[in-house]
Structure 1
């Protein structure tokens, strides 16, 4: 490989950054970092009617949360209109583009006639200048578009980084519009000028763009611009087997942050949706950068698996230091109007092995900071009249013991011996009264994190 590797991600701000685009961003970022290159963020906002600032903000927030740092950007296409028009003018002068005055009605009529003849619906090039051809008279009051002079014959072939060699015949594509009447360029033109100006060397994107690639390659060649290498990654399928997209049930990247997923877990899971390194399931960002050389990308669609993502996230939560986990759980508690304190790291240490998300961890932590209301069913099943004297004895003993785990454990054993009952008889109701559930980690560990006053107060509700 010669020259500096430069990759990019170019989302459209017509909705949230969805998971497929996030995965493409990850691959582009990792490839650039692997080769010591540069990664560019471009916002393709030429769809003026549908682009919003909220979507742009969400894209930037998603990239930040995922930790996909970019070396240039964000670069906005709408701030580059003069550049596009400059290139259009050069193409018109060079004869690689031309004005077309067809009205929408004429185009509809053209397509209907082609369909009636059983032909593919393609623009018939009626306004394309050719030697000896007489063009129609320019109609009054019809603003023209600018079309690209696509080669009428021959093949477009490229060696795709994912799919291998792909060939599409030029007869399958037509003279696409590259500039609308309002002076705003179309996607296939703007993306070429951007990639040219920004010296992009490698383009990773979804394989829904394969049909756009021949046009783009032909425009690159018409401009005398160097071609980047293309890698088209397969789509991600949802549970229904259909493409996961922002129009079909996909969830935004930031929604996963809100729902308690860790960015490092999301990156790990996204990476494995279409790429592998042997049998490695869990790996760090640094390992991925070290391994991601563009090979081992799958040619087949990947299936989104919410349960697998939850498992991956659980592994990262277990491995995360308690002091680093606590602020994330504190943020979840804050949404509920609960202020955490210095006990939170210890709470995280005790409960994180049981949790798939920081939301679930916050559910456990909330019992230490806010009132709990055990269900009637749990109270009836576990806090029976027969066990209430045992609970009362425990409350009595806990009122005077040293408030640390060893002493609390000793007090519990004394109560069990005094009443001749086994641990589950006492532990289940105490857990229900304290935590609102009969299932918790070891009772002495849970009690030690509570204040003495809170424990006795809740036990006396029996």
Structure 2
């Protein structure tokens, strides 16, 4: 059975970059009728916060990305310890004691000699006595996985055939000196024991994948199918990393972005398929194919979300937005005609209040000097209320007959006089609401 996972660290709010990974894994699982696991990678006790665990769940719920079960790495530390012991017994795990400064000097020396800056495995030559002396002086060392120096190859679901020479990669640190288990081994143990069959993540993890494949094989596990999606950039191709703090999902939600608009964009961005607004999750699932995504950096512009949000809102019945309409102050008996008027003229639901304010309070008339006599004559011809959907047409016909004006010269001054704006809703739908509210005041 197909099993995927989304594995955020609860050290902050999830952003659009995280969402891309979550959504792809979710869609793969749902399309195959499989399992989607939410795995909380909380092995760092200092940086992991419960408030972020809750926030991650809230954001995924808002988007409709519902998981089948939750796993927490902090509950599985014994499993990682067992895997570490197994690697030690196999001679694939060794303790190293270099300080960050010493490692940096080694890298600079290698680069000056034209060699790749790879850890030189000096720790393998330490005697037991030397190790004991270093522990007494510096404390426990880090534990590194000893890579087999051979080519590591896999067929990536997005990047195609990948081949990496393990000799060009440093033996990865899997456990820190303070005992903290790092992502590389924890993820391998989890993916293996939880039966994860497909892993989609960012292209910045390609080297991690190479080392993890060797760790999986050393521990006797089965390698999942890997796919590495491109990284997002800003609209001009600039690095997005410094802006991700302003692109948290909860910030987009606060700005009025609708879930289906965000999901529709992220499910196609960077693929060979055009971005199209989808009506529901089933459409997204049915049309998803990870192999249609490319490897080139993918431009993301938050402004692209707002036309999609507006289009999505236009498709909704009143029942789906009734709470927002009520929150704008619209009486229940006017909700239906108000939504019919406003839906084509909003970008987010926050815009509803402005339209209700206009209906309830009216607007400062916008009348050019040359139109003052015309508007005064037109207002005198305005019939008694209440108004309905035919009132605007009948009124403007009467004004045309009386003044001889027609087209834009007829309609624009009247719109501006009634709404204070040059454009907006169909006046036939807006005028009844203006009149009804005035009649009530």
* TM-score (norm: length of structure 2): 0.87
Cα distance in 2 for residues equivalent to 1:237 and 1:55 = 25
Cα distance in 1 for residues equivalent to 2:322 and 2:409 = 33
Unaligned runs of 5+ in 2: none
Candidates 33, 38, 41, aligned match of 1:41? 38
Unaligned runs of 5+ in 1: 458-462
Partner in structure 2 of residue 172 of structure 1? 168
Candidates 394, 397, 400, aligned match of 1:410? 394
SS in 1 for 2:178: coil
Candidates 57, 61, 79, aligned match of 1:64? 61
Aligned residues: 438
Structure-2 change in CA distance of 1:442 and 1:177 (3 Å)? closer
Computed over aligned residues only, the root mean square deviation of the Cα atoms, in angstroms, reads 3.1
What do residues 170-193 of structure 1 show as CA deviations (whole Å, max 9, x unaligned)?
111122211112221112122112
| CA shift for structure 1 position 439 | 1.9
1:224 aligns with 2:208: no
Cα distance in 2 for residues equivalent to 1:382 and 1:6 = 70
Query: Where do residues 186-225 of structure 1 align in structure 2 (5 Å cutoff)?
Result: 186-225=182-221
Cα distance in 2 for residues equivalent to 1:210 and 1:40 = 22
1:367 aligns with 2:362: no
1:444 aligns with 2:428: yes
1:32 aligns with 2:26: no
Partner in structure 1 of residue 349 of structure 2? 358
What do residues 192-251 of structure 1 show as CA deviations (whole Å, max 9, x unaligned)?
122122211100011111111111111111211111110001112212212433655751
SS in 2 for 1:239: coil
Partner in structure 1 of residue 155 of structure 2? 159
1:86 aligns with 2:82: yes
Q: Is the 8 A contact 1:234 1:300 kept in 2?
A: yes
Query: Where do residues 97-108 of structure 1 align in structure 2 (5 Å cutoff)?
Result: 97-108=93-104
Q: Is the 8 A contact 2:277 2:308 kept in 1?
A: yes
| CA shift for structure 1 position 32 | 0.6
| CA shift for structure 1 position 309 | 3.4
* TM-score (norm: length of structure 1): 0.83
Q: Is the 8 A contact 1:383 1:429 kept in 2?
A: no
Candidates 262, 281, 302, aligned match of 2:276? 281
Structure 1 stretches of at least 4 aligned residues deviating more than 6 Å after TM superposition: none
| CA shift for structure 1 position 28 | 0.9
Larger CA deviation: 88-97 vs 199-208: 88-97
| CA shift for structure 1 position 54 | 4.3
Structure-2 change in CA distance of 1:342 and 1:123 (3 Å)? farther
SS in 1 for 2:122: coil
